[in-house]
Structure 1
Amino acid sequence: MSVADRSRRMSLIRSRDTKPELALRRALHARGHRYRLHVAGLPGKPDIVFAPRRVLIFVNGCFWHGHKCPTGHIPKSNSAFWLAKVTANRARDAKNIRKARSLGWKVFVVWECQIRSQKLTQEVADRLSHRIRSRPR
């Protein structure tokens, strides 16, 4: 694949409103939760924000954020670049989570592989819903 083709393909990858994020949002909304999206003033611009309960949810893609699952592997071509990129992403994620927690927020990270199917999404949404409701307003 040429550099131009690769660049064009990479530019099509979304950073917000991804399929996993939309699926989780729909499941949480169906459980009666209302939330804000991508709040810029919070560390890392979390994907889903429950402000009254001070809960943040990051929906991470396994490849981009280096999850330890089959999807989170480093490509064989240009592996030095990808290793550095994923390592930097993981360090940034950890810093943002620490910062949010120090500000009094409860942080949840949901991985793409955890919500790959409708059934898994519903299970994750049930667990999150319980934990969100258990937080005081």
Structure 2
Amino acid sequence: MRDSSGWEPPPGSWASSAARRRNMQAIRSRDTKPERVIRQLLHAKGLRYRVAARPLPDLRRTADIVFRPARVAVFIDGCYWHGCPEHYVSPKTNPGYWSDKVTRNVERDRDTDQQLTEAGWLVLRFWEHEPSEVCAKKIATTVASRRADLHAPGN
């Protein structure tokens, strides 16, 4: 299927047009605005962390914010890509492909949560539409609590 510019998608491509392909490629997988705002708020509270890091070296998945000593992994999930129950709307173009993709993303998220939890990590997930101040406060409180537990007598 060629578009008006003569561009033809490669066989098996998810792109329905050159414009759609450019649009989808431009979507950030890290450093989104919600992530940047939450990180700025955490930094202002004196917290230090890793950005887009693997909590577990052998797990080929990255968390948006990682507090290694406290073993807290934070994910700021986009409503579309992670199937937000409030905001996800199936696309009109190529809905089968995109709905399957989002379903796979959600399944991978659950698997990531399970693997990190089994390794002793605490996973915090927030939707991109949640107020950044509320997310940052919960993250800061959780990290402080985990750090206190690590330094408690007998640990």
Same fold by TM (over 0.5)? yes
1:78 aligns with 2:94: yes
Q: TM-score, normalised by structure 1?
A: 0.89
Structure with greater Cα Rg: 2
Structure 2 partner of 1:22: 36
> Where is the helix percentage greater, Structure 1 or Structure 2?
1
Structure 2 partner of 1:134: 145
Structure 1 partner of 2:47: 33
Structure 1 spans left out of the alignment, 5+ residues = 115-119
1:34-73 → structure 2 map (5 Å cutoff): 34-40=48-54, 41=57, 43=59, 44-70=61-87, 72-73=88-89
**Deviation >6 Å, runs of 4+:** none
The answer to whether the 8 Å contact 1:42/1:100 transfers is no
Which whole-Å CA distance do the structure 2 matches of 1:58 and 1:82 have between them? 21
Give the counterpart letter for 2:70 in structure 1: R
Instruction: Give 1:42 deviation, angstroms.
Output: 6.3
1:92-107 → structure 2 map (5 Å cutoff): 92-107=108-123
Structure 2 partner of 1:123: 134
Which whole-Å CA distance do the structure 2 matches of 1:85 and 1:28 have between them? 32
Structure 2 spans left out of the alignment, 5+ residues = 4-15, 151-155
Which whole-Å CA distance do the structure 2 matches of 1:52 and 1:4 have between them? 45
Bigger relative contact order (CA 8 A; separation at least 6): 1
Q: TM-score, normalised by structure 2?
A: 0.79
Instruction: Give 1:110 deviation, angstroms.
Output: 1.1
* CA-atom RMSD in angstroms: 1.5
- Cα deviation, 1:26-78, whole Å, max 9, x if unaligned, reads 111111110011223264211100011110001110100101112x2211222
Instruction: Give 1:7 deviation, angstroms.
Output: 0.1
Percentage of identical aligned residues? 40
1:110 aligns with 2:126: yes
